[in-house]
A and B are shown apart, each in its own frame.
Chain A
Amino acid sequence: MVVMQFTDEHLDTLAPGERAVIKSFTDKALSLKLLEMGCTPGEEVMLEKVAPFGDPIAINISGYVLSLRRAEAATVCIRRINNVA
């Protein structure tokens, strides 16, 4: 029996169209801004779009689209939802 490994996944690793649920934040100051913008733990996000050159990215959250840099997305811990269409 293999022990299930707990890996911390981050928002910047999502592929376009992939969905995830926000778990927590690793950066306090940034998390305050993200909370104001509606990124709350438990909220579902989808990677909407990646800018040319791979950065920034745009996520769909609570019905609107928010853009943020990859490094900022890396401070958001997520749990992937495995139902990629």
Chain B
Amino acid sequence: MPAAAATSVHRRIALVGNPNSGKSTLFNALTGLHQKTGNFPGVTVDKKHGTFRVKHHGQSVEVTCIDLPGTYSLYPKSLDERVACEVLTDPQNADFPDLTVIVADATNLKRSLFLAGQIIDLGRPCLLVLNMIDEAAKSGLHVEVARLSNRLGIPVLAASAREKTGISELRAAICEPLAPPAYPFTDLSAVAPDVVKLVQKEFPGLSQYQALHKAHLLFSEGHPLQALMEAAGFTPSGAQAEESLHRHGVIGEHIAACTGSQLARPPFTRKLDRILTHRIGGYIVFLLLLFVMFQSIFYLAEYPMSWIETGFAALRAWCSETLPAGWLTDLFTEGILAGLSGVVVFVPQIALLFFFIALLEDSGYMARVSFIMDKLMRRFGLHGRSVIPLISGMACAVPAIMSTRTISSWKERIITIMVTPLMSCSARLPVYTLLIALIIPDRTIGGIFHLQALTLMGLYLLGFFMALLAAWVMNLLIKTRERSWFIMEMPVYRLPKWNNVLYTIYEKVRVFVIDAGKVILIVSVVLWFLASYGYGGAFDAARKQEELIVAKIEEAESSKNAELKEQLPKLYEERAAAASHKLEESFAGQLGKFIEPAIRPLGYDWKIGISLITSLAAREVFVGTMATIYGAGDEENVEPIREVMRKERDQVTGKPVYSVATGLSLLIFYAFALQCISTIAVVKRETNSWMWPSVQFIFMGVLAYLSSWLVFVVAG
């Protein structure tokens, strides 16, 4: 080994391992907060990378670490696995590591060594971490680490990422001089020798296994060599099966030589499974869990949300008083601050929801949900795995749709993608919260059932059942010959690691605030402009009228004349009317009025019409729009938006605009319509066509319109 490798101050490593091997926990333990999540180029597979420094033999080594998606083998069966495979096998790849760190679940050596063996056979520097060694020891499994290391010909370390043991040893081992495995894991010379020679001739320098692996890739890509390979009798599935059997033979020997007794399933997991996958108990627990999730989101999130709301209201009031009057101040307080408030106010809900989802994932419970739901889901053309995207869809359809990648069947995946936006996402939550508080009484029935919380839960269930119904219809319409499978591990239950949960929450909130926040902010500013400016004489007259009243108010407020003071209440009313009139004549008002005839049957006026238009960008903009619309009606008194809406009366009838019928109709509209640019963009990316997002947008729009109309007619 050249000495240069040992003294290099940079090292690029990749973590690879089976799903549930504790890879991400290890990644968090190594990198701490010095990590970022992005995308692999061209695909929407999460790419987590981070850095850390190690003092090694008096030298500081900077390590760049990439956490590859969980994979079972180097023969990819899903997009996640393909990305991991490409990084590890292609030296031209930007993330190709100097050293591959294989993370093995020590309690599951047989399956872990399968992947490890493939990586060893690639013949590049790697080391093996036996993670969860504490759990293995607890259940009576002893692994002779030194002997295993000798047999495998690579460094082997025992660690527990959860207990943070073995981490410093791992850091040190990462900085040791690089060396390829001492010998191959498996003798594969009998597998397709002619094809290996063929590939080696075309790509000189490849080792025997590198060539064999390359042969599989070339074959699936339809490389010109394919015909020659076929002529040599090569079938990928045959070669793969042969290789797998060879591997398992070797694995069996290693395990027999290096470990004691076979592991038994932890009795705790077995007992818990008896309840959680029970034919009745399992569903009761699942429903209870959902109920607890939404009750706590509704109650717990309310406090920080009201602090944020009142905080921003106070800030806006203070700014509009302190800053010089003019359009720039208006832009800042009415456009930017109002929009920002609309973004930040989500953070508590998103954090809480992802807290629960991370708990379910981390504890191993999600796999049970899939297990007990698969039969039901399959009936609707979905997969047991669809439950996870669907549930994640309750937080945000964007990551949920991205998580459908683990569904290997195209049809089940497409259906899951299509119906996931029907699940009530967190962006709808502010709309729901606002409208529910407006039209549903704040009352408790039967001692525990809060009427508003029940309505909220009802909306979530409605979204869920509509998603199933839509899936069922699509299952009949979409034809395919491809097959699906449900082969997956049921991990043992583990206490969730708070670190992992917190990292998840932090990442989700960050992505939401930055990605969705941008859209919300821009739309808020555009809206403010549309609502504050207009075209033509009618708008100018309305604006002058408003200015006149504002001037009168200022005069009356600063005057000591009691008679003038008495006129103030009447003047305030006049000002509100003038502001409303001005909005009516603005660009936004024109736009809202333009679509009013179309939405009148649903019980909406032109102000709601404006909100529907702006919500096309993102549902949560509804709240921001309402803030801008009614904020424009009452500039100096920045009252919480809900109260302003409650007081809003129909100018003709004098009845509240937000009647129960209109409110319900709006709730249904927001439950079903695809008002989310981000979702549309993600669906386009994940299906690689504009057809699917278009179909989705139209079917959800028609569904929303018809359902809202029905609800308005019935409730009215």
Inter-subunit contact A64/B486 (CB<8 Å): no
Q: Given that A63-B262, A64-B489, A66-B489 are contacting pairs, would A31 and B371 also be in contact in the complex, using a CB cutoff of 8 Å? A: no
Write out, one digit per residue, whether chain A residues 26-37 have a CB within 8 A of any chain B CB (1) or not (0). 001111111111
From A2-10, A49-57, A77-85, the one touching the partner chain is A49-57
- Decide yes or no whether B278 CB sits under 8 A from chain A: yes
CA of A62 to CA of B252, assembled, Å: 10
Partner of A32, one of B237, B279, B283, B483: B237
Write out, one digit per residue, whether chain B residues 487-498 have a CB within 8 A of any chain A CB (1) or not (0). 111111000000
Inter-subunit contact B265/A60 (CB<8 Å): yes
- Decide yes or no whether B302 CB sits under 8 A from chain A: no
Partner of B372, one of A33, A38, A52, A60: A52
- Decide yes or no whether B277 CB sits under 8 A from chain A: yes
Contacts of A62 in B (CB 8 A): 108, 110-111, 262
Q: Given that A29-B237, A32-B75, A66-B487 are contacting pairs, would A40 and B374 also be in contact in the complex, using a CB cutoff of 8 Å? A: no
Contacts of A36 in B (CB 8 A): 72-73, 75, 111, 114, 244
- Decide yes or no whether B384 CB sits under 8 A from chain A: yes
- Decide yes or no whether A72 CB sits under 8 A from chain B: yes
- Decide yes or no whether B376 CB sits under 8 A from chain A: yes
Inter-subunit contact B375/A55 (CB<8 Å): yes
Contacts of A52 in B (CB 8 A): 277-280, 282-283, 372, 375
Inter-subunit contact A51/B244 (CB<8 Å): no
**Nearest Cβ in chain B — how far from A57, in angstroms?**
9
- Decide yes or no whether A74 CB sits under 8 A from chain B: no
- Decide yes or no whether A21 CB sits under 8 A from chain B: no
Partner of B367, one of A31, A34, A60, A67: A67
Partner of B374, one of A41, A49, A56, A64: A56
CA of A49 to CA of B266, assembled, Å: 15
**Nearest Cβ in chain A — how far from B527, in angstroms?**
49
| Interface-centre pick from A33, A65, A66, A68 (highest chain B CB count, 10 A) | A65
Partner of B486, one of A35, A54, A69: A69
- Within 62-111 of B, Cβ neighbours of A (below 8 Å) are at 72-73, 75, 77, 107-108, 110-111
Inter-subunit contact B485/A56 (CB<8 Å): no
Contacts of B244 in A (CB 8 A): 32, 35-36, 40
Partner of B248, one of A28, A29, A35, A68: A35
Inter-subunit contact B485/A65 (CB<8 Å): no
CA of A34 to CA of B240, assembled, Å: 12
Contacts of B487 in A (CB 8 A): 30, 33-34, 37, 66-68, 72
Number of interface residues of B (CB under 8 A): 44
- Within 216-243 of B, Cβ neighbours of A (below 8 Å) are at 237-238, 240-241
- Within 114-150 of B, Cβ neighbours of A (below 8 Å) are at 114
- Decide yes or no whether B273 CB sits under 8 A from chain A: yes
**Nearest Cβ in chain A — how far from B267, in angstroms?**
13
- Decide yes or no whether A14 CB sits under 8 A from chain B: no
CA of A44 to CA of B237, assembled, Å: 24
Inter-subunit contact B486/A72 (CB<8 Å): yes
CA of A33 to CA of B374, assembled, Å: 19
| Interface-centre pick from B110, B262, B280 (highest chain A CB count, 10 A) | B110
Q: Residue on A with the closest CB to B71?
A: A36
Q: Given that A52-B279, A63-B263 are contacting pairs, would A30 and B485 also be in contact in the complex, using a CB cutoff of 8 Å? A: yes
| Interface-centre pick from A29, A48, A62 (highest chain B CB count, 10 A) | A62
Inter-subunit contact B374/A69 (CB<8 Å): yes
- Decide yes or no whether B245 CB sits under 8 A from chain A: yes
Write out, one digit per residue, whether chain B residues 275-306 have a CB within 8 A of any chain A CB (1) or not (0). 00111101100000000000000000000000
Contacts of B370 in A (CB 8 A): 67
**Nearest Cβ in chain B — how far from A79, in angstroms?**
18
Contacts of A58 in B (CB 8 A): 277, 371, 490
Inter-subunit contact A37/B375 (CB<8 Å): no
Number of interface residues of A (CB under 8 A): 32
Inter-subunit contact A64/B107 (CB<8 Å): yes
| Interface-centre pick from A29, A30, A63 (highest chain B CB count, 10 A) | A63
- Within 348-386 of B, Cβ neighbours of A (below 8 Å) are at 367, 370-372, 374-376, 384
**Nearest Cβ in chain B — how far from A44, in angstroms?**
9
Q: Residue on A with the closest CB to B247?
A: A35
Contacts of A35 in B (CB 8 A): 241, 244-245, 248
CA of A30 to CA of B237, assembled, Å: 10
Q: Residue on B with the closest CB to A35?
A: B244
Inter-subunit contact B111/A64 (CB<8 Å): yes
**Nearest Cβ in chain A — how far from B387, in angstroms?**
13
Contacts of B262 in A (CB 8 A): 62-63
Inter-subunit contact A55/B111 (CB<8 Å): no
Inter-subunit contact A68/B489 (CB<8 Å): no
Contacts of B282 in A (CB 8 A): 52
CA of A53 to CA of B75, assembled, Å: 33
CA of A58 to CA of B114, assembled, Å: 21
Q: Residue on A with the closest CB to B263?
A: A63
- Within 34-80 of B, Cβ neighbours of A (below 8 Å) are at 72-73, 75, 77
Q: Given that A40-B248, A63-B107 are contacting pairs, would A54 and B375 also be in contact in the complex, using a CB cutoff of 8 Å? A: yes
Contacts of A37 in B (CB 8 A): 72, 111, 487, 489
CA of A68 to CA of B238, assembled, Å: 23
Inter-subunit contact A67/B490 (CB<8 Å): yes
CA of A69 to CA of B370, assembled, Å: 11
Inter-subunit contact B107/A68 (CB<8 Å): no
B interface with A by C-beta (< 8 Å)? 72-73, 75, 77, 107-108, 110-111, 114, 237-238, 240-241, 244-245, 248, 262-265, 273, 277-280, 282-283, 367, 370-372, 374-376, 384, 483, 485-492
- For the complex of A and B, the 7 pairs showing the least CB-CB separation, nearest first, are A52-B279, A63-B263, A35-B244, A65-B490, A62-B110, A40-B248, A53-B375
16 further A-B pairs in the complex, CB-CB below 8 A; given A37-B72, A48-B265: A28-B241, A29-B237, A36-B75, A51-B277, A51-B375, A52-B278, A52-B280, A56-B384, A62-B108, A64-B265, A67-B370, A67-B371, A67-B486, A67-B490, A72-B485, A72-B486
A interface with B by C-beta (< 8 Å)? 28-38, 40-41, 48-49, 51-56, 58, 60, 62-69, 72
27 contacts between A and B (CB under 8 A): A28-B241, A30-B485, A31-B241, A32-B241, A32-B244, A35-B244, A35-B245, A36-B114, A37-B72, A38-B110, A38-B111, A40-B244, A41-B245, A51-B375, A52-B277, A52-B279, A52-B372, A55-B374, A56-B486, A58-B490, A60-B265, A62-B262, A64-B107, A65-B265, A65-B490, A66-B488, A68-B485
